[in-house]
Structure 1
Amino acid sequence: MKIAIAGGTGFVGQHLTKHLIDRGDEVFILTRHPNKHRNKQKITYIGWLNENLNPIAQLPPLDAIINLAGESLFGYWTKSKKDRIYQSRIKATYAIIDMIKEMKYKPAVLINASAVGYFGTSLTETFTESRKESGNDFLAEVTEAWEKTALEANTYGVRTVIARFGVILGTEGALPLMTMPFKWYVGGKIGSGEQWVSWIHITDVIGMILFSLDHPTIDQAFHMTAPSPIKNSKMAEVIAQTLHKPNWLPVPRVAIKTLLGEMSLLVESGQKVLPEKAIKSGYSFQYSHIEKALEDLLK
């Protein structure tokens, strides 16, 4: 397959590119700065999001486009940071829709990133793909607009998969930040510890993206989370056990709020999200339980 990836130089994008190449696909990475990268066997860097660049002229007919582009959520959420989080996602997705509109030969599928934050936060509810209503906080507003933009690809006959990622666990991203206090012997649950963590191992992220590429019946919202979400208190317990470190110092919510501001929403709140479509479609998780996932990543 010939596949274009926006955001291909990021955490998930790098893992995905490697797996696509290993299985024999050809990858075209859309980047603002193609000159910073050297083309490799089966990897071509294509400039985009610049009025002086014409990515369509450099791309062959594509089988798929995967959009992972967007400003990192990590960092203090000032007004300008929140604007970048929102605009980077919407702008990149609109650019992809415009590309699809102009392509003579349309890709069969667009896989567009989103997040379980679409639902807002809850201690009591369980969310599957059948739940249509979004939440009302900042992340819910961002993801709702992001998904709505991506689904415009349907207008051009392109199957569209909305990949709602949970907390992605890998040697990069959120996990190093989560484990750091434990390595300093000051680890513990955050706040009450009752908030849900809908997590997923990076291996299953890639597996589910490939699964959705290869299974034409997968479309619309597709939850990329492990089938066993856990509460923050349990996550802290398993991290401590895996690292052989104490789990004794709860972090007060007020401290998290003071340190992170509105970004504290990422760690002090959560939602219980289940991958109903993946289970019903026969996807086989490599890491269904947090103990095995952390054992793989931390040892």
Structure 2
Amino acid sequence: MTQNKIVITGATGLIGSRLTEKLAERGTPVTVLSRHPRAANNRFPSARFPNVTVTGYVPFNPDTIAPALSGASAVVHLAGEPIATRWTPEVRAAIRNSREIGTRALVTAIAGMNDRPAALISASACRYYGVNAHARFAEDSPPGPAGDFLTDTTHRWEAQAQRASMFDVRVVILRFGITLAVTEMGRATLKRLHPFLGGRVGSGQQWVSWIHREDVVDILLRALDMTEMRGAYNATSPNPVKMTQVTDAFGHASRSFFRVPVPSMVIRQLLGDGATVILDGQKVHPDRLLAEGFHFRFPQIGPAIYDILS
């Protein structure tokens, strides 16, 4: 069980917040690196999280990162601008820079230390493999072709994280699928919309490589605890599904009365090029995790969605 200090970027996000809670439950000291320390302190009040320390930093400046890394046994790097939005030129730059330049700054800070963290656990994404409607992707699959914005961004992101291995740091890269979880605000919204949930999204035939947040966090804890874990892992359910199966599961779990379809055209009008996040998919499998005996709490889409809505 990990007891030395863990530093987390992106700790107030969907995955990072739950990981921080789980580490706090263990009694592990956690340092949260945040661009918005006031908001992070509100998320992790000291009365409830006495072993969580919030430190402000500038993501592209290694000098603001290095002091927080002192005494850390590992760094979990989850920071990155959201991608499920309309991609203006400014948003594209923010998506890429937050991953490439942000990771470069973090690794530069690690490289400049005498007593470096033993491990860097870095987020990545399944888009590493590119988009294909028919192929099956595992960790030994080749990287996707250049030219796709998200695929190129992911390749650059991982390359920066891998630099840490040059400094005797164990690097684990987790290629996340679509993470299923609902915040309290999101759950309230879904309750209002539940009569209409479950309609087809786009063609409905695009593959969705998904994972429940609790399984993501278990994988992150495993990567922290098991020093034999190195390299890239697909953090996805062993059962990718078509989008129709996702929306059907939402419909059944929410007992919707009217299932309203959302055509591809509507999504493209709302998100522009960012619609690719929803309309294009891949069939990704977690072969390495399964070979190493990882047990998924939610391997099937139906129980996973029921859990997050209940």
Please give the alpha-carbon distance, in whole angstroms, between the structure 2 residues aligned to 1:257 and 1:235: 20
Please give the alpha-carbon distance, in whole angstroms, between the structure 1 residues aligned to 2:302 and 2:141: 29
- Offset, 1:270: 0.5
CA contact (8 A) 2:200 2:260 kept: yes
Structure 1 partner of 2:85: 75
Instruction: Select which of 112, 135, 144 maps to 1:125.
Output: 135
Runs of at least 4 residues off by over 4 Å: 35-39, 50-53, 175-182
Q: Is 1:42 aligned with 2:51?
A: yes
CA contact (8 A) 1:196 1:270 kept: yes
Instruction: Select which of 242, 253, 258 maps to 1:242.
Output: 253
Over 3 Å counting, the alpha-carbon distance change for 1:270 and 1:177 in structure 2 is: farther
The answer to which of 247-256 and 121-130 deviates more is 247-256
Please give the alpha-carbon distance, in whole angstroms, between the structure 1 residues aligned to 2:241 and 2:187: 18
TM-score by length of 2: 0.89
- How many residue pairs are counted as aligned between the two chains? 298
Q: Is 1:269 aligned with 2:272?
A: no
Q: Is 1:146 aligned with 2:146?
A: no
- Whichever residue aligns with residue 233 of structure 1, its letter is T
Please give the alpha-carbon distance, in whole angstroms, between the structure 2 residues aligned to 1:89 and 1:178: 30
Please give the alpha-carbon distance, in whole angstroms, between the structure 1 residues aligned to 2:66 and 2:164: 16
- Offset, 1:252: 2.1
- Offset, 1:178: 11
CA contact (8 A) 1:46 1:55 kept: no
Superposition pairs of residues 39-188 of structure 1, within 5 angstroms: 40=46, 41-49=50-58, 54-135=64-145, 136-172=147-183, 183-185=194-196, 187-188=198-199
CA contact (8 A) 2:198 2:248 kept: no
Please give the secondary structure, in 2, of the residue aligned with 1:46: strand
- Whichever residue aligns with residue 265 of structure 2, its letter is V
Deviations 1:206-259 (A, max 9, x none): 000001111122111111111111000111111111111146443222222122
Deviations 1:24-74 (A, max 9, x none): 211011122435554731111223227696443354321100101111113
TM-score by length of 1: 0.92
Please give the alpha-carbon distance, in whole angstroms, between the structure 2 residues aligned to 1:85 and 1:99: 21
- Whichever residue aligns with residue 22 of structure 1, its letter is E
Gaps of 5+ in 1: none
RMSD of aligned Cα (Å): 2.4
Please give the alpha-carbon distance, in whole angstroms, between the structure 2 residues aligned to 1:36 and 1:248: 37
Superposition pairs of residues 194-205 of structure 1, within 5 angstroms: 194-205=205-216
